[in-house]
Amino acid sequence: MATQIDKEACREAYNQVRDDNTETNWAAFKYEGSTIVPAGLGTDYEDFKKLCTDDGRLFGFVRFTTGDAMSKRAKFTLITWIGENVSGLQRAKISTDKTLVKDVVQNFAKEFMISDPRELEEEYLRMELKKAGGANYDAQAE
């Protein structure tokens, strides 16, 4: 059966993360049968990480505040999580299903496909977003 997405509910969660007037900084989207639906919203990135289980697969839209001494700005990332115990067929299907998610989640600085919980570490993701962000005015030796 072809995968569907609850566009309205997912778009509402996506917009809540993008809204500067909310505290919400992540939204997760999971499979419910053959439909992708919102799996939760939150303010604490650690809560999002708890949803990324060994036997799960989900998509996350996460806001990080990045920048340097001269400017701070919100950067968004799309995370595709595939747990280590997910079957080969489900692994293969997630890449085509991601196009459904991208119909809703359209604005993000960087995309990640992650199976290793260590790559979910906030510092690692921030560092990758900073690299993708261009100019860096921090007074540091690199």
pTM metric for this prediction: 0.89
Residue 50 contacts residue 82 (beta carbons within 8 Å): no
Domain boundaries, the chain: 4-132
Confidence of residue 135 (pLDDT cuts 50, 70, 90): low
Whole-angstrom distance, CA of residue 63 vs CA of residue 23: 10
User: What is the CATH architecture of 4-132?
Assistant: 3-Layer(aba) Sandwich (3.40)
Calpha distance 70→28 (Å, rounded): 31
pLDDT band at 142 (very low <50, low <70, confident <90, very high): very low
pLDDT digits (tens, 9 = 90+) for 15-34: 999 999 999 999 999 999 99
Q: What is the pLDDT of residue 141?
A: 44
pLDDT tens profile 45-94: 999 999 999 999 999 999 998 766 677 788 999 999 999 999 999 999 99
Q: What is the mean pLDDT of residues 109-138?
A: 84
